[in-house]
């Protein structure tokens, strides 16, 4: 049974049993506790926690997931994927244990002709939480499972949570016995390779805190309702139903291995080491494409770092298979063809995906070149010192600074006849991981601070947003929160969070800044400076009581700052136009990666794997956008289904969560996007858009900043005044200024070059006198002095080399010092005859560098360094002299 069919049957079964089909959420959600969506229930968290009312009592989804906690184990096991599809059915206070067990049993063991999976009931085992006698009774009653095929297990195995504060509960897992040829008897407790877990039924009833019940800690609370959250591993079921040996050989993954076989000329199944590499390529190619598809680009932090690591492991594994040409775009094509039937956006957005992987591979190949040079230097130094092991800190430097995978370092070291201090490397890696975990823990805000908001939701329901059509409204205060605690009243001068039953205020979101304004009661005023939506469905106004005493359950008049709203709306509409203009100019690869819409200005981030955008392209985009303004198109907002939005070609922002119904903003036929923000009514209301320039903010991501409306006009007016002043100063017409200024700059550069030559000649003119003043130290001509004032850097090296050359065939050592404030630089040069006597420049440095509180090093003929004690130069010269006498 093909993987797409397995997913289809799951969705169909639960739809036939009253579950609402819910599309997979993006892998990137606005959740500070997660880098990637790692379970099917993530998009339903607000319903489980009671932060928002569920729109349906039961749901089903096929959720795309990424887990990278044990990425180094990929390919070494038969069942591990970083990307996988989690089929799930969910009940929000509807059915509980009996319903979940009945549905799972019927689908797993139902005949394939009747729409089930057809697993042999006699080969099914289940596990339950230690004290869950109820689940055991239900498995015996509903499925007829004998007691010996139901095993009790502890929290580590049979309690589920997300690994962060949130919902959780005891669970029951379904296993399939693959047979004695795959391991020993005894059920899942004995061997989880033979007994393969395919489905986890979570009886979600608890709320965990920072410490997990999996570790024996009690939950911090009980969820408002008892819920069901299940997760069936689509790839694992495919692996069993397709009769293959592991998940890497299923129909959606094996084609990548086949392409890797074509590239390498090697065959999967011929070598255990190569098989791991083939599997890494297949797994990571899928994960990388799916992550890029949801808008992530490679970078050195967060999600971008995970993506970069995945892609670079593919390149590394390919090289270890003997493939040195670019491979990522070809692997991405295979993934697209395999996955597009379930995720059609991979095909429509493939130009961008391909551009991202191509740029990352090119960058990594350059990194490998640079890293190889560092590696060669480290090998040479190790051998020169008589060592046989590459230091752990050097391997870590190659990994951390140059992106050099440790496996590649190990293989190259072996080829050079060396081993690697793996223990030292892994200790440094563990230190880095510990720092990363501490940082992640600091970021975890979970949901522990939302209790006050949840109380308001429970008592008053969701906030009604009126701001698309109204900027003033009468409303009632249904919640007052001070320092995270609900209060009945709050006095003048106090910072407060206000919840209204209905509001015209826009909460910050989608890159658009929040509204400001006032909330006025009969005898009090609240100045609103920020508006947020901390939990779904609730709009919270943050401000200060500037007069009187605000009270709950009173009528107020809410009024938005109309000038600010209009300016922000103009910026938001302009962002849509700039986005459309960039895609028209650069292609679909220019996808929005972030934005800021503020009064009179905007910031637009977009993917650009090809690098900087030429000024001519920016000028063309600016011209095209302003032409749209002159055309004064209608700006239309309407709500439709996700499916219809896709048919219309509306752009969706990666990482945004959209419901079944979506809001579209159309600006004529030029721009069409999914958007929940506020906008102008006609494009002409923007007045003017001025692009200020673009710059890089990360690998493959560029940023354009622009001014809108009156701010753009004022900017151009200032530029006009500046150009007029320059024209008057240079006695030239404005259009002649570039040529005139270029001429002056070129004359200045020529003058600087001539001055530099004069200065260099002056420096080198002292070389003869320094050489003539050399002292004899046991047959060695020593020149050890402070260089003339103003000599440093390259000049110091040039002077030392010139003095050395004037010493002729004598054994000679030149040591020149240059002080600059509280720092001192030095250069040591040796003649060939001195080196024949064992006097190497690099080995002389440690003899005198401590005197200037410094250090340095280099080659036998030339070394350099610096220190922080210029007063110690005389002592350093004496130390060098003593070292020569002792040599």
CA of residue 35 relative to chain centroid, distance: 7
Distance CA 244, CA 267 (A): 17
Q: Where are the beta strands (DSSP E) in 484-524?
A: 485-486, 489-490, 495-500, 502-503, 517-520
- Among candidate residues 209, 211, 230, the one with its CA nearest the CA of residue 221: 209
Query: What angle do the packed helices 794-806 and 737-764 form, to 10 degrees?
Result: 40
The strand pairing partners of 814, in sequence order, are: 783, 829
Q: In what order do the strands lie in the sheet with 689-698?
A: 592-598, 601-607, 701-708, 689-698
In contact, 869 and 841? CB cutoff 8 Å: no
Distance CA 518, CA 624 (A): 39
The strand pairing partners of 855, in sequence order, are: 866
End-to-end CA distance of the chain: 80
The strand pairing partners of 856, in sequence order, are: 865
In contact, 314 and 281? CB cutoff 8 Å: yes
Full DSSP string of 119-159: --GGGEEEEEETT-HHHHHHIIIII---GGGEEEE-HHHHE
- Among candidate residues 348, 307, 260, 330, the one with its CA nearest the CA of residue 83: 307
- Residues near 380 by Cβ (< 8 Å), separated by ≥ 6? none
Distance CA 515, CA 513 (A): 7
Angle at 477 between CA 471 and CA 480, to 5 degrees: 120
Distance CA 591, CA 605 (A): 8
Distance CA 531, CA 534 (A): 9
Instruction: Identify the residue whose tokens are 């007045």.
Output: 687
Distance CA 813, CA 784 (A): 8
Instruction: Identify the residue whose tokens are 């499925």.
Output: 143
Distance CA 495, CA 542 (A): 7
- Binding site listing: 572, 576, 675, 679
How large is the C-alpha radius of gyration of the chain?
A: 34
- Among candidate residues 624, 617, 613, the one with its CA nearest the CA of residue 697: 613
**SS3 for 438?**
helix
Distance CA 462, CA 497 (A): 15
- Among candidate residues 31, 85, 84, 97, the one with its CA nearest the CA of residue 60: 85
Angle at 788 between CA 786 and CA 792, to 5 degrees: 85
Distance CA 347, CA 445 (A): 36
- Binding site listing for Zn(2+): 572, 576, 675, 679
Full DSSP string of 254-281: HHHHHHHHHHH---TTS-HHHHHHHHHH
Full DSSP string of 242-256: TT-SSGGGSTTTHHH
In contact, 721 and 728? CB cutoff 8 Å: no
Question: Over 622-686, what HEC string results?
Answer: HHHHHHHHHHCCEEEEEEEEHHHHHHHCCECCCCCCCCCEEEEEEECCCEEEECCCCCCCEHHHH
- Among candidate residues 396, 399, 389, 382, the one with its CA nearest the CA of residue 427: 396
Task: Work out the burial of residue 764: count CB atoms within 10 Å of its CB; fewer than 13 is exposed, 13-18 middle, 19 or more buried.
Answer: middle
């Amino acid at each position: 049974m093909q993987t797409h069919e397995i997913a289809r049957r799951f969705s169909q079964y639960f739809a036939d049993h009253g579950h609402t089909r819910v599309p997979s959420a993006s892998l990137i959600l606005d959740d500070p506790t997660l880098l990637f969506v790692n379970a099917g229930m993530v998009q339903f968290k607000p319903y489980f926690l009671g932060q928002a009312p569920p729109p349906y009592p039961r749901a089903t989804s096929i959720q795309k997931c990424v887990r990278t906690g044990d990425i180094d184990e990929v390919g070494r096991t038969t069942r591990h994927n970083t990307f996988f599809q989690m089929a799930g059915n969910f009940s929000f206070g509807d059915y509980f244990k009996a319903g979940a067990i009945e549905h799972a049993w019927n689908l797993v063991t139902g005949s394939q002709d009747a729409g089930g999976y057809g697993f042999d009931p006699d080969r099914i085992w289940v596990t339950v939480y230690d004290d869950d006698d109820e689940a055991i009774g239900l498995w015996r009653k509903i499925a007829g499972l004998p007691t010996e095929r139901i095993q009790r297990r502890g929290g580590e195995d049979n309690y589920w949570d997300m690994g962060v504060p949130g919902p959780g509960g005891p669970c029951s897992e379904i296993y399939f016995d693959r047979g004695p040829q795959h391991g020993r008897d005894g059920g899942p407790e004995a061997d989880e390779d033979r007994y393969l877990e395919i489905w986890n039924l979570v009886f979600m009833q608890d709320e965990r805190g920072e410490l997990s019940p999996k570790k024996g800690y009690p939950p911090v609370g009980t969820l408002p309702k008892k819920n069901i959250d299940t997760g069936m591993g689509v790839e694992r079921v495919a692996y069993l139903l397709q009769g293959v040996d592991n998940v890497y050989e299923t129909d959606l993954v094996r084609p990548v291995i086949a392409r890797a076989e074509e590239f390498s000329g090697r065959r999967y199944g011929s070598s255990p080491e190569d098989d791991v590499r083939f599997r890494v390529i297949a797994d990571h190619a899928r994960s990388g494409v799916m992550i890029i598809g949801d808008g992530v680009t490679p970078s050195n932090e967060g999600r971008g770092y995970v993506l970069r690591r995945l892609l670079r492991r593919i390149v590394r594994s390919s090289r270890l298979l003997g493939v040195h040409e670019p491979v990522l775009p070809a692997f991405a094509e295979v993934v697209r063809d395999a996955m597009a039937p379930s995720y059609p956006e991979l095909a429509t957005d493939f130009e961008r995906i391909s551009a991202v992987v191509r740029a990352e591979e090119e960058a990594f190949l350059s990194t490998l070149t640079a890293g190889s040079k560092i590696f060669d230097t480290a090998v040479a130094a190790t051998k020169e010192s008589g060592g046989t092991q590459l230091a752990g800190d050097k391997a870590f430097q190659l990994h951390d600074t140059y992106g050099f995978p440790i496996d590649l370092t190990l293989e190259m070291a072996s080829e050079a006849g060396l081993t690697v201090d793996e223990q030292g490397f892994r200790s440094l890696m563990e230190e880095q991981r510990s720092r990363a975990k501490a940082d992640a823990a600091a970021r975890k805000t979970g949901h522990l601070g939302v209790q006050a908001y949840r109380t308001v939701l429970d008592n008053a329901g969701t906030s009604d947003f009126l701001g698309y059509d109204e900027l003033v409204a009468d409303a009632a205060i249904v919640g007052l929160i001070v320092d995270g605690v609900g209060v009945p009243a709050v006095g003048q001068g106090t910072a407060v969070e206000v919840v209204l039953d209905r509001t015209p205020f826009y909460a910050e979101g989608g890159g658009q800044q929040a509204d400001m304004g006032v909330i006025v009661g009969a005898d009090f005023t609240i100045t609103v400076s920020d508006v947020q939506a901390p939990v779904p469905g609730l709009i919270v106004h943050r401000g200060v009581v500037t007069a009187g005493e605000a009270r709950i359950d009173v009528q107020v008049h809410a009024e938005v700052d109309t000038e600010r709203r209009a300016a922000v709306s103009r910026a938001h509409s302009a962002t849509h136009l700039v986005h459309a203009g960039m895609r028209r100019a650069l292609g679909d690869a220019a996808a929005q990666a972030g934005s800021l819409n503020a009064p009179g200005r905007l910031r637009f981030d977009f993917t650009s794997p090809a690098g900087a955008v030429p000024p001519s392209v920016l000028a063309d985009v600016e011209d095209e956008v302003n032409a749209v303004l002159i055309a004064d198109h209608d700006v239309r907002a309407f709500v439709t289904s996700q499916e219809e939005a896709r048919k219309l070609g509306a752009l969706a922002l990666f990482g945004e969560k959209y419901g079944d119904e979506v809001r579209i903003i159309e600006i004529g036929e030029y721009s069409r996007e999914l958007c929940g923000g506020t906008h102008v009514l006609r494009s002409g209301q923007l007045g003017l858009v001025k692009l200020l320039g673009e710059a890089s903010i990360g690998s493959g991501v560029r940023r354009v900043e622009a001014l809108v409306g009156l701010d753009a006009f004022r900017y151009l007016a200032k530029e006009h005044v500046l150009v007029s002043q320059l024209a008057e100063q240079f006695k030239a017409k404005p259009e002649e200024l570039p040529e005139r200024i270029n001429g002056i700059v070129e004359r200045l550069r020529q003058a600087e070059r001539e001055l530099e030559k004069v200065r260099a000649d002056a420096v080198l003119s002292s070389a003869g006198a320094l050489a003539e003043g050399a002292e004899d130290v046991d047959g060695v001509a020593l020149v050890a002095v402070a260089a003339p004032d103003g000599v440093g850097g390259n000049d110091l090296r040039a002077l030392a080399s010139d003095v050395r050359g004037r010493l002729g065939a004598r054994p000679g050592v030149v040591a020149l010092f240059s002080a600059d404030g509280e720092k001192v630089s030095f250069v040591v040069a040796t003649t060939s005859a001195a080196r024949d006597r064992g006097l190497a420049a690099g080995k002389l440095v440690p003899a005198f560098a401590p005197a200037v509180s410094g250090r340095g090093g280099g080659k036998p003929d030339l070394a350099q360094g610096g220190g922080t004690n210029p007063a110690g130069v005389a002592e350093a010269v004496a130390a060098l002299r003593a070292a020569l006498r002792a040599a």
